Amino acid sequence: MRNHPALTAVWPGRPYPLGATWDGQGVNFALFSKHADKVELCLFDDKGRHERQRITLRERTNDVWHCYLPQARPGMAYGYRVHGRYKPEEGHRFNPHKLLVDPYAKDLIGALRWSDAVYGYTVGSKREDLSFDRRDSAAFMPKGRVLETAFTWGDDRRPEVPWQDMVIYEMHVRGFTRTHPDIPEDLRGTYATLACAPVVEYLQRLGVTTVELLPVHAFLNDRHLAEQGLQNYWGYNSLAYFAPEMRYAASGKVKEFKTMVKTLHSAGIEVILDVVYNHTCEGNQLGPTLSMRGVDNASYYIVNADNRRYYDDFTGCGNTVNLEHPRALQLVMDSLRYWADEMHVDGFRFDLASALAREAGKVENLGGFFDAIRQDPTLNRVKLIAEPWDLGHGGYQVGNFPPGWAEWNDRYRDGMRSWWKGDAGMVGDVADRFAGSQDLYGWSGKGPHASINFITAHDGFTLHDLVSYNDKHNEANGEENRDGNNNNLSWNCGAEGPSDRPEVNALREQQKRNYLATLLLSQGVPMLLAGDESGHTQKGNNNVYCQDNELGWLDWTSSPERESLRAFVARLIRIRRRHPSFRRRSFFRGQPIGEGLPKDVVWLKPGGEEMTPADWQDEHVRCLGALISGRGITDIGARGEAQRDDDFLLLLNAYHEPLPFTVPASQGHRWCRLLDTAQEDMHEAPLEDPVYALRGRSLVLLSRTIAKP
């Protein structure tokens, strides 16, 4: 829309849907604000640089201000100015001098340029946020852009991978391909690259079923980072819950994201989004006025009941979105439906999900947010994963989310890390986690797939660094190494950081194989951190949230060690896929499932005897075997057929010395060694000796084929 004259026709329009909606003839604008006195729609030129018209919204229906512009078209840049009381002590922060991004904007043009003008108060004033700033912020703000949502999806279908068959791959859109040698440099780090053949083929070869993308909602670079020359890399700083982050779009168009989803679906790969609905980028009372704060602060955020100038911060980011308010809840629900319906994503991982469940300050696990999702015809069919904690009192809720939800299981992460580094008293916890964490999820009627198992994630050490560093090394973040978690349960295998000692490097590779094999052979849904399969390192930095550079980007350089590890992971995933024993829908019973059948799982000591109650309490136990019966599966197949499998014997030795392990009698069917993490290159081989020479710090998987009825 270049050099267009002012729009002369302004019709009443409708209060629904919220946002800017192109209907093929014109654009409907609708903005919720309960406490506003006046709302102005500001229209800009194509690039969003110059305001060319202001239209007062005279229609107000159920606290929604609206109008319809029959002459408006897709591509129009816009923002709002909202008038009302500036009374922070009452929870109101209206300032019409500040241009606001529509909370429902589906596309943004321009980037925020930090300036004191984007704050509703006068920065540096002795009265702090009780002061009032009259500078116009429009020149520094991104603008919404009216979107044409049409896209040719064709026969696109969700892969609908069953939970128990999933292998999740957590990745960063930009970091995953930023240095990829087989992708044109101008496309690297974008949605488009995730639809490129080299990436799709890599994911297929590896065997992952589901990619989980770090936040792609439009977000801001924090001011303190920008002033240090750093970037908000992870994106947990949302500005607009409907607009994809344009820094990841090579074309600058929303449809690039849709093309990525369609291409991955055609390859049988699901797309899950990491979403941040618990807080926004506007921060605490001293943060900028960019969107919801200026639209209706008292409705969108949880303000402190005793002093409404301040926020109840359950997120550590300055504010918490108030999902007790029906319009804030509507915003989140509308956003989720938009990404599921319009963008075809397959599910969501909710950052600090406990904050979404807070009502009157307490986490209510059967509260309004969960009720809203459960009854929604779209959202009750997509995959829902909670990060089941926040930073507030009572926020740790692992195992307590309602039916239909899976959870990141940090008990799995911590238990397996402690076991393989050799900590005492871990044998019982390791068995519980390996078996799907029935102690956490069984009480509510859930199955093992409620547990999203992980050893590493974006937040923390990579797998390579987990076995290479005892301590974090976050100096590059500019916070004197104070940021990041100090309790990493890591072990450097004898040297801190890079080492030229062959025995240290060999042990590190073996420990990586231990972790990966444990993860991919456990009951539950495994989640891999992108790059762990090839030894990606962040040089000991366990908090690269601000490192949009080689430290955070995956290194695609090839080496024999990296290729070997990738092949090992792909082989593990193939084993998991072929054998239902490792992806059960129901928990082990520890007893026979029928007359004349063996127990579905038997826990063994190195001598071959079954573990006793006293053994489980012995803190010195560092070695454990799990005999898994292929005839002990209660699940049935997709067509109602009985599930049968080979028998498996999994041996885990976290002790630093070798231990002979007596293998159960073969019952006429020979045991075969499938893998031994103490041997980098190995082939399947029949077992000749009834006692297996189990090396120190190693995992072994044996199988025997039982004739199926």
Instruction: Confirm whether 387 is a catalytic residue.
Output: yes
Q: Which of 283, 295, 370 is nearest to 333 (CA)?
A: 370
**416 alpha-carbon distance from chain centroid:** 20
Catalytic choice (270, 351, 509, 646): 351
First-last CA distance in the chain: 71
Instruction: Confirm whether 170 is a catalytic residue.
Output: no
Which are the contacts of 647, defined by CB distance < 8 A and separation ≥ 6? 627, 628, 629, 630, 631, 669, 703, 704, 706
Catalytic choice (107, 222, 282, 387): 387
What type of residue sits at position 464? H
Count of H-run helices and E-run strands, the chain: 15, 31
Task: With residue 652 as reference, give the H or E element that holds it.
Answer: strand 647-653
Helix axes 502-521, 560-578, angle to 10 degrees: 20
What does the radius of gyration of the chain's CA atoms come to, in whole angstroms? 27
Q: Interior CA angle at 134 toward 133 and 140, to 5°?
A: 90
Let me know: does 105 contact 338? Beta carbons within 8 Å.
no
Q: Which of 622, 619, 604, 572 is nearest to 691 (CA)?
A: 604
- Both tokens of 471, joined, read 């301590």
Neighbours of 3 (CB within 10 A): 7
What type of residue sits at position 654? A
Helix axes 410-421, 502-521, angle to 10 degrees: 140
Neighbours of 564 (CB within 10 A): 16
Let me know: does 73 contact 13? Beta carbons within 8 Å.
no
- Both tokens of 627, joined, read 């005999």
Let me know: does 651 contact 675? Beta carbons within 8 Å.
no
- Please report which residue ranges of 153-213 form alpha helices under DSSP H: 173-177, 191-194, 197-206
Q: Are strands 347-350 and 525-529 parallel, antiparallel or unpaired?
A: unpaired
Q: Are strands 383-386 and 405-408 parallel, antiparallel or unpaired?
A: parallel
Q: Classify residue 445 by burial, with Cβ atoms within 10 Å: 0-12, 13-18, 19+.
A: exposed
Neighbours of 279 (CB within 10 A): 26
Distances (CA, A) of 40 to 98, 270, 602: 11, 41, 69
Neighbours of 20 (CB within 10 A): 25
Phi and psi, residue 82, nearest 5°: -120, 125
Q: Interior CA angle at 686 toward 685 and 691, to 5°?
A: 115
What residues act catalytically? 351, 387
